[in-house]
Amino acid sequence: MLSSSSMDLLMFLLLLVSPVALASSSTVPAIFTFGDSIFDAGNNHYNKNCTAQADFPPYGSSFFHRPTGRFTNGRTVADFISQFVGLPLQKPFLELQIQILNGTSNFSNGINFASAGSGLLFDTNKFMGVTPIQTQLQQFQTLVEQDLIEKSTIQESLFLLETGSNDIFNYFFPFQTPTLSPDAYVNTMLDQVNKTIDQIYKLGARRIAFFSLGPVGCVPARAMLPNVPTNKCFGKMNVMAKMYNTRLEDIVNIIPTKYPGAIAVFGAVYGITHRFQNYPARYGFTDVSNACCGNGTLGGLMQCGREGYKICNNPNEFLFWDFYHPTERTYHLMSKALWNGNKNHIRPFNLMALATTNIAF
């Protein structure tokens, strides 16, 4: 058995491999993405009733050189996976919806339905006007029912899902007393996971990737919560995230049995991020606690880009871009681990294998 240090070295070497060079045998024609700000490519920007926005500088500054609505300085995990597969980046559904009405839409490479601030629970951040996953799924279902997406395309496509961080962070908000225990609350979240899988399967999804939550209790925004430590991660929040992750993996593991013809993987984002935090220098980080862009304690008391914000000179050396979200470089390293990493990072096999496995229909 490899030692912990040997495993970390192996992961580092894997991250040096160019994923794009390994994508030539992929049969994936499109990617459909659902979730929150980890994936959102700009849906909230096109929702003028939504107050959760990142459509202003310096968001997008490191890659797109303009704000796109993504909650980081460049590309997200969904963007990198798309590039590894060899596809153009998927557009936000709400942008495509405008084009559909104009008769100019083209979403042959997939669609991004994710909405920053949303969660598995319908009411999570509802006051901000975000698009809950239930609505995201309905948007997809409507396109399928209108025969705007070919069934064969859906069956061969990748389905990426990541959500739940906002549900857990909101559980600890000081101005609302939870009515459920942490255990019951997590089970309520997982009820929606089961409904989500059931719905996308019935609509044709067969290649499914569910990503775990990261260590939510380590985001700089925890500085906004009363009586929460800022010199270390918020343990209670991370315990809930790990509880959710463990049960989520159990659900993912039975997908091939419960849903004939479907294959599924579990992306261990918590563990990947935890390694970055424990061995920052190994991965090129000099700061894994503070936001590169923000202000106040941990840079977590103000959103990046708001009046009075401060920004670091070297975002590539920071784990966090703003008070909630990783930098593009963090997403890049994470995406590589999910694409061609070992079972410590994603299981039972990686996204590259998921994208190249033949599926019998």
pLDDT in tens, 285-327: 999 999 999 999 999 999 999 999 999 999 999 999 999 999 9
Residue 165 known to be catalytic? no
Catalytic site residue from 26, 115, 325, 335: 325
| Average pLDDT for 116-144 | 97
Is the pLDDT assigned to residue 27 strictly greater than 50?
yes
> Is cis: bond before 220, omega within 30 of 0?
no
Q: 42-92, pLDDT tens digit by residue? A: 999 999 999 999 999 999 999 999 999 999 999 999 999 999 999 999 999
Query: Do you know the residue count of the chain?
Result: 361
Report yes or no: 328 and 63 within 8 Å, Cβ to Cβ.
Answer: yes
Q: How confident is the model at residue 25 (pLDDT cuts 50, 70, 90)?
A: low
Catalytic site residue from 36, 40, 79, 322: 322
Tokens of 38: 């980890």
Q: 160-192, pLDDT tens digit by residue? A: 999 999 999 999 998 888 899 999 999 999 999
Give the whole-angstrom CA distance, residue 38 versus residue 26. 24
Q: Give Cα separations from 194 to 37, 53, 100, 114 (angstroms).
A: 21, 29, 30, 18
Q: What is the pLDDT of residue 176?
A: 80
If one counts every other C-beta atom within 10 angstroms of the C-beta of residue 297, the result is 13
Residue 325 known to be catalytic? yes
Residue 147 known to be catalytic? no
Catalytic site residue from 37, 165, 289, 335: 37
Is the pLDDT assigned to residue 4 strictly greater than 60?
no
